């Protein structure tokens, strides 16, 4: 189930409000004591996060499917750039040797002991989640606040969080984007497709900036470039991936992309934070957060509030 972005901020006893976590969405399936972790695009994650799979597998109990967000922390805040160093490692031993602790914040349960729970009210599902999983170690329960969304949103923004999730308390779980789950963002950000890059200048390595876009129908629309948020390791690692995708033909077909650049096949997806969209549809003050492997490039569209 996916949330819809909104510019509205409200308080309502019919809704619950959770912290919006900046990580990797993950469904966990426990069947006969064995656990599968899957990203939102169906990618297997067991080798990336073996401690999470082991924690769920070690618990006695019936088969279940739980939904949540895998995160890493830096100075008490979720840090997607830090998590990315685990996302890119698909070997269990190497993943653990990174020393980057990860946590699976569970917020929903959709299947339990041969029963499909998706038609139940969210508040009932959350009660079953708490009763069905022993929380501790890398498994965490996502707390929520009842009704008072506006003050919680203010607290979120003052605390430097990404935002708040508003969820209809008696709503079912649907396998689609829904207005029953809403995103209150403190700062703007979304996934964007990498369609090219510029050469570095002066002493900078790797590349100068990534050229970004989103799909509108069949067109990849140019949305601007991002040149900040990279450390030296990221510059070199991403450049190697870009070189393997380089092509003579620009993927952008709208939005007025630059005439001279290195073009690449639009396969990579970047997570970017920015201050706002300009009137001509460009990103203002973008900062690169990391690459996303859990979303297909073709599914990336411009996020707008209805």
**Torsion angle in degrees (nearest 10) through CA of 32, 175, 51, 124:** -80
Per-residue tokens: 244: 């393997």
Q: Select from 171, 191, 194 the least CA-distant residue to 108.
A: 171
On the 0-12 / 13-18 / 19+ scale of CB atoms within 10 A, 270 is buried
Torsion of CA 127, 131, 133, 138, to 10 degrees: 60
Catalytic site residue 167? no
From 20, 167, 185, 225, the catalytic residue: 20
Torsion region of 82: left, alpha or beta (phi above 0 gives left; psi -120 to 50 gives alpha): alpha
The SS3 of residue 220 is strand
Catalytic residues: 20
């Amino acid at each position: 189930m996916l949330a819809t972005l909104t510019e509205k901020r409200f308080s309502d006893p019919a809704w619950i409000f959770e912290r919006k976590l900046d990580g990797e969405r993950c469904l966990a399936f426990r069947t006969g004591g064995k656990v599968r972790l899957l990203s939102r695009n169906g990618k297997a994650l067991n080798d990336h996060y073996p401690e999470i799979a082991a924690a769920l597998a070690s618990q006695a109990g019936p088969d279940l499917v739980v939904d949540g967000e895998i995160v890493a922390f830096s100075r008490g805040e979720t840090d997607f750039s830090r998590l990315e160093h685990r996302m890119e490692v698909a070997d269990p031993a190497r993943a653990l040797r990174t020393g980057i602790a990860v946590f699976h914040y569970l917020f929903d349960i959709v299947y339990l002991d041969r029963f499909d729970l998706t038609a139940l009210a969210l508040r009932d599902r959350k009660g079953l989640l708490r009763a069905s999983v022993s929380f501790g170690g890398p498994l965490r329960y996502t707390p929520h606040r009842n009704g008072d969304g506006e003050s919680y949103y203010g607290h979120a923004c003052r605390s430097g969080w990404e935002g708040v999730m508003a969820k209809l308390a008696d709503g079912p779980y649907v396998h689609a984007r829904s207005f029953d789950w809403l995103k209150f963002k403190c700062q703007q950000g979304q996934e964007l497709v990498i369609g090219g890059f510029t050469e570095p200048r002066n002493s900078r390595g790797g590349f100068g900036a990534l050229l970004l876009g989103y799909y509108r129908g069949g067109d990849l629309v140019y949305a601007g470039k991002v040149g900040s948020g990279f450390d030296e390791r990221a510059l070199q690692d991403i450049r190697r991936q870009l070189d393997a995708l380089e092509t003579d033909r620009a993927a952008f077909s709208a939005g007025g992309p630059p005439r001279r650049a290195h073009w690449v096949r639009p396969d990579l997806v970047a997570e970017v934070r920015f201050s706002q969209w300009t009137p001509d549809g460009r990103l203002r003050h973008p900062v690169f957060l990391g690459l996303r492997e859990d979303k297909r490039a073709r599914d990336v569209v411009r996020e707008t509030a209805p």
